[in-house]
Amino acid sequence: MDLFDKFKPLAAAYADLTHGGRDPFGVAFDRILSPTVGMIGDREVILAGTNNYLGLTFEPEVIAAAQEGAARYGTGTTGSRIANGTYGPHRALEAEMAAHFGMAGAIVFTTGYQANLAAVAGLAGPGDQVFIDADCHASIYDACKLSGAEIIRFAHNDPKSLDRRLGRTDPNASNKLVIVEGLYSMFGDIAPIAEFVAVKNKHNAYLMVDEAHSFGTFGARGLGVSEADGVLDKVDFIVGTFSKSLAGIGGFAVSNHPQFNLLRLAARAYMFTASSSAASVEATRAALKLIQARPALKDKVWANARRLHKGLTDAGFALFAPASPVVAADMGDPAKAAVFWNALLSAGVYVNLAMPPGTPNSKSLLRCSVSAAHTPEQIDRVVASFIAVDRAIKANTLAAVG
């Protein structure tokens, strides 16, 4: 018996996936030319699956801030936040995030994944109940397991399902935490946050919303679906990431709860990992200022999202949700999805390939994420490439694509 024997089915599936084509989970970009164009070898590729929603990764102010952070504070902190890993920029970013959300407190984490681990496992523990949307991100599931709390799933984006499950619990119990996402990253569907707020209030529960993919793109100030639904002040905890609209690396949680800062003493994912480098933090601060100064970026994201969604819909592709910054096409089966993904890359278009078991309802899909930096011409080329590949597959003439 070998430790890796249990991975034999996984290895077989991976071999089938990569046979006769590129490894979709190991693509290496040899150079990034802009937020929307990369190089693989000597070939340019349109980047249509990067989550770079506002296109800020190459903004001169963001790059200069990262450089200045490294020059002033060094390349790393070499310690956790509760040891030597809290620098002035960490505190400044936390104050700026709290002010941006209009919340009393904010905590910055090293990654978005750790933000969920820390917030969920720090708030909930043995004897508590956590109610999670069935389609929540893996980091939320992992956080729930780490917490030791009872985990209760409810049907995706279904406030009535949550209502029924909460209705079976002790109405006087206070330790009930509901977790949903604003924009779901696989299908691009949007949660009815206002309805979830009504349900959690009815049952004396707390609500946490993960706005990782919706921060920067929803709401008047880009604060997420909670803001867009007019219930930001009624959500108990908001978590998110810096690795999407904020064009960096890291995570955050914000709240008005008077004891929110106790998480710094209770959340293991905060206490026992090295903190973000000053370069990352300063870049995030600069990106946040740009989001505040350029609200039109959000409009550009939505214009591109609607253009891509309409183009693929008109071409006959089955999409999972109405237009949003995430546009996902149903490929039907894993084999077709892999072939289609390879052909798109050959045609100079990079998108995300997503397959079971990492997808809701065991779907196989090609996932696009649009950016404010995409030009209309680039969006049209993505659509044209989808159409060309689809025709080539049906005609068995894939060699002609690209």
CB 38 within 8 A of CB 28: no
- List 139, 185, 276, 346, catalytic entry: 185
CB-CB contact of 73 with 280 (8 Å): no
CB 25 within 8 A of CB 16: no
Q: How far apart are the C-alpha atoms of 140 and 308, rounded to whole Å?
A: 30
Residues in the chain: 402
DSSP 332: S
Helix, strand, coil fractions of the chain, as percent rounded to 5? 45, 15, 40
User: CA 23 → CA 27, 149, 219, distances in Å?
Assistant: 6, 38, 37
The string over 170-192, giving b where at least 16 C-beta atoms fall within 10 Å of a residue's C-beta and e elsewhere, is eeeeebbbbbbbbbbbbbbbbbe
Catalytically annotated residue among 213, 300, 309, 374: 213
Catalytically annotated residue among 90, 100, 244, 309: 244
Q: What region does 227 belong to: left with phi over 0, alpha with psi -120 to 50, or beta?
A: alpha
Structure letter (DSSP) for residue 143? H
Bridge-based pairing of strands 129-133 and 176-181 is parallel
Is 185 a known active-site residue? yes
Quote the CA–CA distance of 249 and 110 in Å, as a whole number: 7
d(CA 327, CA 336): 18
Asked about 309 being catalytic, the answer comes back as no
Angstrom CA distances, 131 to 9, 115, 254, stand at 31, 18, 20
Is the CB of residue 298 less than 8 Å from the CB of residue 304?
no
Count the helices and strands in the chain (H runs, E runs).
Answer: 14, 14
Q: Is 31 helix (H, G, I), strand (E, B) or coil?
A: strand
Active-site residue flag, 213: yes
Task: Count Cβ atoms below 10 Å from residue 119 Cβ, excluding itself.
Answer: 30
Residues annotated as catalytic (active site), given as ranges: 185, 213, 244
